[in-house]
Amino acid sequence: MRHPTHRAMERTFHVTGLDCASCAQTLEQGVARLPGVQACQVQFASGTLRVVGDVSLAQLQARVRELGYDLAAPAEGLATASAAPTGWPRFMWQHRDTRLALLGLVLIIPGVILEELLRIDHPIITTLALGAWLTAGFPIVRSAWRALRINREVNINVLMTIASAGAIVIGAFTEAGMVMVLFAIGEALERYTGERARQAIRSLAKLAPEHARLLRPHPGSALAPGEVAVTALRPGDVILVRPGERIPVDGQVLSGMSAVNQAPITGESRPIDKTPGSEVFAGSINGEGALEVEVTRLASDTVLSRLIQLVQEAQERRAAAQRFIDRFARVYTPAVVALAGLVAVVPPLLFGQPFVDPVTPSAGWLYRGLALLVVACPCALVISTPVSIISALSNAARHGVLIKGGAYLEALNRIRAVAFDKTGTLTYGRPAVIALRPANHIDGDGTAQHCTDCADLLALASAVEQQSEHPLARAVVDEATRHGLHMRYPPATAVTALPGRGVTGRVEDREVTIGSHAYFSEHVPHPEEHCAAAERDTQSGYTPLMVAAEGQYVGTITVADTVRATGQEALQMLKAMGISTLVMLSGDDAAVGARVGQQLGVTDVHAELLPADKVAMIQSLRAQHGDVVMVGDGINDAPALATADVGIAVGAALGGTAQAMETADITLMSDDLRRLPFLFALARATMRTIQVNLALSIGLKLLFVALVLSGLGTMWMAVAADMGTSLLVTLNGMRLLTTPRPPT
């Protein structure tokens, strides 16, 4: 009898006690050996363990603790991270292992000064060195034994234990103690810098407050007005957000007006005005006005929560460079161990060289072999890539750009062609008033701000259009409201639609008609120059709305979908970065496409395209230019976004589209197109940083191999150099947390 299959459980935990990338590999291999575990991945840079399989929490916890680490639930892990000390001295004193390393440092200093520098030998120095080896080395030896017993692997702790024990056997006591002390302090430094990097990632989780001020519960709710936990709120609840407070959940403003800083979510540098009907996001900061907000999403479903979840998932998608380094490190370490064995044995056997030199231990080939074991430490190499990628992902997220994995940063580095959707991407996707043309003049200012006739024309049209939800009508009303003209005339009465032609209504006993140019050509006389101007508008892809009162022509309001304010600047920046092919794909007619393309400065325009045609264009661009990026709104352009090598959705938070965040490889949370050149700059900076880190790691390894083989390198020098390199590549990768920055 066949039993029905079931989906294996997938869980993610935060891990405490990880010192280095090698520790993460040891933990990953140890957990993977548990019965029932189908897949396991440990990310040192984010301090997370992801397990897929049917294994109990007790078994997981036992294995992790057996290997010397501990598990925390996601919420507990974040709390632990947020409470971590920021100062290096406090960090060193907080943990038992690091306190032992500090004690070992105190014990080894006399030997370094007297024996290594002044060449003074004394039994007390030897005793202190052995004490330093035991105190600083105890956690390292314990970890080495666990790795051998549980994983049956030779990791860096095993190498350090063998090397330092061998140094004691040949009488290099001070050097043995120095190796353990330097390695222990280096591991602590890596843990400290790694925790600082995780702090930057996890700081996103602290953006939203844990409590909210409930004004009116939704019908049927058991909550009472007052302070409640954010997790208890449900859609329909009404909360109060006071001036200066962080908004706790996603919602819609019911009453109040304020300017809200939503930079933590969308990356926008300026506060955004919020009025009744506006959407607000958890984690954004309220300005000077109090807001009553109706909850629209659960705390677990907010844009901020989804952003955090996707950033955490992105950490698990290893870039190709990272996967290569992981594979290389697995071969590299045993290869160097084999080389160390050959170095220790071959010269004495074949060439009569000293195996051990009792007078000068570093002259013996056993010592050189032991020193090579120290050089074999892969920490700097393994951590060089992930710390750079995680830092870049965190930098992007803090500026409103969600990247779903390091692979897309790598891909962006190769891109030379970018395709853009027009409507909603390069343009705002909604009509707006771009010109006013009163009947008595055509060469005036054309704006309601400086022209009295223009203002009256706009106010009169607004009185009629206030009753309509048509996009063109909303454009007129919004423009009148922006200039404070929407109340100049009372709302029209007896409003009647002219299907396909326009609308009429009575405003203060005058019959006002708003219609198309074709309708006015048949029914309302208007000046020849205004007729010619309307024709030019139509040919340019604009929509002229003509206005008449009591059958007399009053003027024309020109409406169009306008280009984004940052579009032209963004495209110029992309061109300056060497991205020479910028193509616009549009479903609009050719005239509209040509106008927008000319305004923005794209290199090519393809109009009147169906979704399938856009997919074909992406494939054609790939054949010509290699990898292609598609930038769209994440919904209508889903097929093209999926076809492109990298799909980028624009303004997902503003549209409230969870689909955009799910489908696209990269999401710009705001509609500021200047985030695109920032994204490309970040990708290039990330790959440069990885290359520099790899060159440093491999270059210093080769240098110390040469020094050790020539008899010039010592074990403690190799440890210091390796730990220094690990710290250097970590700090170099962490620079990506703050640079580059998007333009403001």
The residues carrying an active-site annotation are: 421
309/205 Cα distance (integer angstroms): 10
- DSSP secondary-structure letter at 246? B
**CA distances (Å), origin 536, targets 362, 469, 531, 532, 558:** 88, 27, 9, 6, 11
Q: Name the E strands within 381-501.
A: 401-403, 417-421, 427-438, 493-498
- In order of 240, 244, 402, 638, 662, the CA distances from 289 in angstroms are 11, 8, 30, 39, 34
Q: What's the farthest any 2 CA atoms get from each other in the chain?
A: 117
Contacts of 39 (CB under 8 A, 6+ apart): 32, 50, 51, 52, 53
DSSP element (H, E) containing 15: strand 10-16
Burial 415-433 (b: 16+ CB within 10 A, else e): bebbbbbbbbbbbbbebbb
Structural tokens at position 65? 């603790």
Q: Mention every residue, 6+ apart, whose C-beta is less than 8 A from residue 7.
A: none
Other C-beta atoms closer than 10 Å to the C-beta of 105 total 20
Amino acid at 380: A
d(CA 483, CA 461): 14
Query: What letter does residue 131 receive in the DSSP assignment?
Result: H
The separation between CA 261 and the C-alpha centre of its own chain, rounded to angstroms, equals 19
- Cα distance between residue 357 and residue 68, in whole Å: 37
Cα separation, 614 vs 609, whole angstroms: 6
Q: In whole angstroms, what is the distance from residue 599 CA to residue 111 CA?
A: 73
> Hey, what are 102's tokens?
């500090």
Cβ(403)–Cβ(314) below 8 Å:
yes
Burial of 86 (0-12, 13-18, 19+ CB in 10 A): exposed
Query: Given the structure tokens 């109009």, which residue do they identify?
Result: 607
CA distance 339 to 354: 18
Q: How many CB atoms lie under 10 A from the CB of residue 515? A: 22
Closest CA to 549 of 664, 649, 461: 461
Which residues lie across from 403 on neighbouring strands? 666
SS (H, E, C) 252-271: EEEECCEEEECHHHHCCCCC
CB 412 within 8 A of CB 646: yes
Tokens matching residue 114: 């007297």
The pairing of strands 646-650 and 628-632 is parallel
DSSP class of 279: E
Query: Read out DSSP for 613-635?
Result: HHHHHHHHHHHHHSSEEEEE-SS
Asked if 509 and 546 touch (Cβ cutoff 8 Å), the reply is no
Do you know the residue count of the chain? 744
Q: Which residue has the tokens 């009256």?
A: 456
Which DSSP string corresponds to 538-564? Answer: HHTT-EEEEEEETTEEEEEEEEEEEEP
Nearest CA to 212 out of 260, 243, 246, 244 is that of 246
